[in-house]
Amino acid sequence: MLVTYLNLVIQGVLLGGLYAIFALGLSLSVGVMRFVNIAHGDFIVLVSFLLLVVAAALHINVLLALLLVLPVAFAGGWLLQRVLLQRVIGQSALLPLLVTFGLSIIVQNALLQGFGADTRTLSAGRLDTSSLHIGGLYVGVLPVATFLLAVTLVLGLDWLLYRSRIGANIRAVADDVAAANLIGLSSVRIYATAMGIVGVTVAVAACFMGLRMNFDPTSGPSRLLIAFEVVVLGGLGSLRGTLLGGIVLGIAQTLGGQIDGAWQVLAGHLVFLVVFLLRPQGLLPRY
């Protein structure tokens, strides 16, 4: 019995790493750029389909395809900010919600037209089924790699935002656009760079989502819900809190699934609700 629950906790922690990767881009958008991207989940699904196409067209491993897609994802985020989002950010809290909701609908319908409603998945070859034997437990190599990547991304982005010059510029513009412009910072350029970084995190999330889960053109809202709960659990603006929030949500779902399959998702929502009521600022708030 103890081994069973220990295994569930470990699987929950590893699942939490995947959830944290889902949420990193949204955490940057909400905590640093001060807007909620309703299309975040749909962008993850969109890039998953892009990875599927690139890997199939070039006959390469999906992880190699990810390396090719990362610059495209950065450019896509940069262009999205410069061409569209820059026009609505800072004017009203409602406008970015409406615009990104419209983008969500467009992406879903475009994917349905292009790929149909069939469920897809990505494959990394032998990595999909490889496992590690630790004591009496078997742990998948891919979940472990996903968790280690989540930790690396959190620490790397935390350093970028709070220890580097470009991070200081991003936070300065996020805190006060007018003051940042007065001291010579280009808010337009800096916001576009920040959105490009979000695009990179979306591409990584898309790859590992496709490797760990099935997806279809309508999967975006469910991915957005996971990311939103993780961000709120961890605390707005806290990347390390995002990792902790993902772990809490992952453990809640795996333990809930042990009770009953129907409880897996519900248990995560209940834990989110309880934590939000008791600690609305999140577990590790930055502010």
What is the C-alpha to C-alpha distance for residues 222 and 204, in angstroms, rounded to an integer? 17
Whole-model pTM: value is: 0.94
Q: Can you read off the two tokens belonging to residue 174?
A: 């996020």
Contact by Cβ (8 Å): 191, 89: yes
- Every domain of the chain and the residues it spans: 2-278
Cross-strand partners of 215: 120
Copy the structure tokens of residue 27: 């955490």
Place of tokens 């599927």: 52
The single residue listed with the structure tokens 């409880």 is: 263
Domain 2-278: CATH class, spelled out: mainly alpha
Question: Are the CB atoms for 210 and 254 separated by under 8 Å?
Answer: no
What is the number of other CB atoms lying within 10 angstroms of the CB of residue 20? 33
Q: Please state, in angstroms and rounded to a whole number, the distance separating the CA atoms of residues 149 and 128.
A: 16
Amino acid residing at 249: L
- Each residue's pLDDT, cut to its tens digit, for the chain (287 residues) gives 677 788 889 999 999 999 999 999 999 888 777 788 999 999 999 999 999 999 999 999 999 999 999 999 999 999 999 999 888 877 777 888 999 999 999 999 999 999 998 999 998 888 888 888 777 777 889 999 999 999 999 999 999 988 888 888 888 887 777 787 778 788 888 889 999 999 999 999 999 999 999 999 999 999 999 999 999 999 887 899 999 999 999 999 999 988 877 788 899 999 999 999 999 888 888 65
